Copies of this chain bind each other. A is one copy, B any other.
Amino acid sequence: MTQPDSAEKDDFDLRNFLPFLLNQAAEESSLDFQKVYKNRYGMLRTEWRVLFHLGNYGEMTAKQIGERAKMHKTKISRAVHKLEQRRYLRRTRDENDRRMERLTLTPAGLTVYRELRDIARDYDARLAGMFTTGEAALLRMMLRRLVGMD
């Protein structure tokens, strides 16, 4: 592993490249939590995202979830189907605009959501525990800014 670019100065360092670091961190930070909803509930990432949105925000349409989660509508469509099959959510067509349907969690879905939410909360605390309170707050703030949430 010699530097091929030692002649020209290659001051670029992949290990500090933000998109790379963010991807690594995202991957790493999702892994343990993923095991829970995957092994315990047989859910995919797309599915828990939909579940979490409905649990956290309440009734939403597929469109709205797509906007908030930045997920493509086909992913959502399929996730909704799976969650419906498992009786975690119910869909009711909007009578004012019959193109869209209102999605809500069933009691069973809400139970699962609450369980996963509690685990998520602990998990988040564990991650945040790697930093001081101020640092963690700053981290969230910066990530929100990167995402355009502020």
Contacts and interface: CB of A to CB of B under 8 A. Distances in A.
30 contacts: A1-B59, A4-B58, A4-B110, A10-B56, A10-B117, A12-B117, A14-B52, A14-B56, A16-B140, A18-B139, A18-B140, A19-B30, A19-B33, A19-B120, A19-B124, A20-B49, A21-B143, A22-B25, A22-B26, A22-B29, A23-B30, A24-B70, A25-B26, A25-B143, A28-B146, A127-B146, A130-B142, A131-B142, A131-B145, A138-B138
A84 to B, nearest CB: 17
Secondary structure at chain A's binding surface: helix, strand, loop or mixed?
helix
Quick one: copies of this chain in the complex? 2
A10 B121 CA distance: 11
